[in-house]
């Protein structure tokens, strides 16, 4: 598949001319510079097990860790800031409404986002990213490598190439280290998903800040939830679960929610959606496990702050 080859080629190009040493038989470490900032990338055999350590903030800020589930109507967008000023955007919603949410969370002069994760190329997740890339410089953009044929997805990936953001194929085993004890782990895909239906190819990631875990599942369906449970068992526990597929009954299965056992479930959806999101059975599942459900339709932007031990709703 063309785009996948292009990504791998790009990474190989990046490594050429970089400082390079061998960690062991399968591990290679690279040091590269991007925009005058030192970026250390360690890769463990092909793309699996890769980690990216993002250091040297351009502007050191001392905010608390926060995550905002931005009210983008029927779609997903979540924005994370770290105490030392790293910024991560997971999906961009269906339109430019994501920009309003970002403007509320970012200093007016800031035109840079460290990492964008496009969980899958459906327009309710990536169309707004076109506006984001037009307004902000982005260092890294992750996508699952699933086939896409929408004009929005084509425009997005053309912009990624134009802006020289580093385009990374997301694979299980990669993690991003943002400092301050904060890391983002890619849990899925763990394979080539180019031929999968787009929801099933969704990037599933979790953000870990000391004791606090936030699980972000894109539109991953029940089959992927089952697969993750088979891999992780009770290790799926999280404090916040971004409910898969906007609260549809294709996600948030009973067994999965029971193991994740979140304190909060976030349903990101438009009030006027015609899909019946959230589904009654999903709300019943959350009620059964005493999970507090927060819905962007009724709450607007939903923000939590954390010190790594506890979560506070803002």
Residues that bind Zn ion (CB under 5 A): 124, 219
- Tell me the C-alpha to C-alpha distance, in Å, between residue 205 and each of 38, 80, 101, 152, 309: 24, 13, 21, 23, 20
Which residue, 11 or 204, is less far from Zn ion as judged by CB?
204
Phi and psi at residue 114, to the nearest 5°: -70, -50
Which residue, 219 or 239, is less far from Zn ion as judged by CB?
219
Q: How far is the CB of 275 from Zn ion (least distance, A)?
A: 9
Q: Angle, nearest 10°, between helix axes 123-135 and 151-163?
A: 30
Which residue, 131 or 219, is less far from Zn ion as judged by CB?
219
Which residue, 71 or 219, is less far from Zn ion as judged by CB?
219
Which residue, 124 or 295, is less far from Zn ion as judged by CB?
124
Q: How far is the CB of 164 from Zn ion (least distance, A)?
A: 28
Q: How far is the CB of 74 from Zn ion (least distance, A)?
A: 8
Please give the structure tokens belonging to residue 27: 């591990």
Which residue, 124 or 239, is less far from Zn ion as judged by CB?
124
Q: How far is the CB of 76 from Zn ion (least distance, A)?
A: 6
Q: How far is the CB of 13 from Zn ion (least distance, A)?
A: 33
Report the alpha-carbon distance of residue 239 to residue 255 in Å, rounded: 16
Give the DSSP per-residue string, 4-52. HHHHHHHHHHHHTTSEEEESSSSEEEEEEEETTEEEEEEEESTTTT-EE
Which residue, 99 or 243, is less far from Zn ion as judged by CB?
243
Please give the structure tokens belonging to residue 217: 């599942």
Q: How far is the CB of 94 from Zn ion (least distance, A)?
A: 9
Please give the structure tokens belonging to residue 199: 């929801």
Closest C-alpha among 85, 27, 29, 81 to residue 55 = 85
Q: How far is the CB of 125 from Zn ion (least distance, A)?
A: 5
Q: Angle, nearest 10°, between helix axes 97-105 and 123-135?
A: 60
H-helix or E-strand spanning residue 188 = strand 182-188
Q: How far is the CB of 154 from Zn ion (least distance, A)?
A: 18
Which residue, 124 or 131, is less far from Zn ion as judged by CB?
124
Strands (E) located in 37-170: 37-44, 51-54, 65-69, 78-81, 87-90, 112-117, 137-143, 166-169
Burial class (CB in 10 A: 0-12, 13-18, 19+), 236: buried
């Amino acid at each position: 598949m063309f785009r996948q080859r292009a990504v791998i080629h790009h990474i190989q190009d990046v490594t050429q001319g970089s400082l390079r040493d061998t960690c062991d038989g399968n591990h290679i470490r690279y040091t590269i510079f991007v925009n005058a900032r030192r970026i250390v990338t360690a890769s463990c055999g092909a793309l699996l097990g890769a980690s990216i350590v993002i250091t040297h903030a351009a502007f050191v800020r001392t905010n608390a860790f926060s995550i905002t589930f931005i009210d983008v109507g029927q779609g997903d967008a979540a924005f994370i800031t770290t105490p030392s000023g790293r910024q991560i955007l997971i999906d961009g919603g269906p339109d430019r409404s994501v920009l309003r949410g970002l403007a509320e969370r970012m200093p007016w002069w800031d035109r840079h986002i460290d990492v964008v994760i496009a969980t899958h190329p459906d327009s309710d997740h990536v169309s707004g990213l076109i506006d984001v890339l037009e307004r902000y410089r982005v260092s890294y953009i992750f996508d699952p490598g699933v086939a896409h044929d929408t004009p929005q997805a084509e425009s997005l990936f053309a912009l990624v190439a134009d802006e020289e953001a580093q385009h990374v194929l997301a694979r299980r085993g990669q993690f991003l280290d943002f400092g301050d004890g904060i890391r983002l782990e890619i849990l899925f895909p763990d394979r080539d998903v180019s031929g999968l239906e787009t929801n099933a190819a969704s990037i599933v990631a979790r953000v870990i800040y000391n004791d606090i875990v936030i699980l972000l599942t894109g539109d991953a369906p029940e089959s992927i939830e089952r697969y993750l449970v088979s891999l992780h068992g009770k290790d799926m526990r999280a404090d916040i679960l971004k409910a898969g597929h906007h609260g549809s009954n294709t996600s948030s299965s009973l067994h999965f929610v029971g193991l994740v056992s979140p304190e909060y479930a976030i349903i990101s959806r438009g009030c006027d959606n015609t899909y019946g999101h959230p589904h009654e059975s999903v709300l019943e599942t959350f009620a059964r496990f005493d999970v507090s459900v927060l819905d962007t339709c009724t709450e607007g932007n939903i923000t939590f702050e954390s010190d790594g031990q506890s979560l506070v709703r803002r």
